[in-house]
Amino acid sequence: MLKGKLVNLRAIERKDLEEIMKWVNDQEVTKYLAAFLYPVSREEEEKFLERAMSRNDTEKNLVMETKEGVYLGQISLHKIDWKNSNAELGIVIGNKEYWGKGYGTEAIKILLQHAFNQMNLYKIYLQVFEFNQRGIRCYEKCGFTKEGKLRKNHFYKAKYYDVILMGILKDEFEKTNK
């Protein structure tokens, strides 16, 4: 388990299915995520869990929970590229009551610390929709900078939105988190 002051990051387990099912069909949560276009069934999530629980060199999905063990959501590294030493960050706090209370910032910092100092990665990057100001602010607090944007690359409720590209290098993380 990776431990912080507010949150811990732990391996995903079969018991997490109930909590995951609570948010995967909540459009106020999934509007910020790229992968959710259709309603999600329990069977689909069971398959996701099986994949997430199995050993995989290029994807790692962890559960964020409070110090009391309350499930908050998931944080993940995708496309782990061992040659170029980078990976893409994904995060979701499924329970909206826990938004804006610092959990996301701490969880990301814990994962960055692990990625840079245990996994020997050099860069973590992410994509965020331009309307996700909470996400952008959270990433900036962690030390991410904007690297560019994919213009009008995301279609949502009959409108196109920019997708912001953000990244952080190991030395930048060390400077901002001394």
Ligand X SMILES: CC(C)(COP(=O)(O)OP(=O)(O)OC[C@H]1O[C@@H](n2cnc3c(N)ncnc32)[C@H](O)[C@@H]1OP(=O)(O)O)[C@@H](O)C(=O)NCCC(=O)NCCS
Q: Binding residues for ligand X, per CB under 6 A?
A: 29, 32-33, 73, 91-93, 99-105, 128, 132-135, 137-138, 141
Cα 140 to Cα 29, 108, 136, 144: the distances in Å are 20, 11, 6, 5
The two three-digit tokens of residue 48, written as one number: 């996701």
DSSP character at residue 97: G
Shortest-Cβ-distance residue relative to ligand X? 104
Minimum distance of ligand X from residue 5's CB (angstroms): 13
* 39 or 100: CB nearest ligand X: 100
Provide, rounded to whole angstroms, the least separation between the CB of residue 22 and ligand X.
13
Provide the minimum distance between the beta carbon of 133 and ligand X in the complex, in angstroms, as a whole number. Answer: 3
Nearest distance from C-beta of residue 144 to ligand X, angstroms: 11
Structure-block tokens of residue 63:
């559960």
Measured CA to CA, the distance from residue 23 to residue 16 in angstroms comes to 12
Instruction: For ligand X, give the closer residue by CB, 37 or 55.
Output: 37
Q: Write the DSSP symbol of residue 68.
A: T
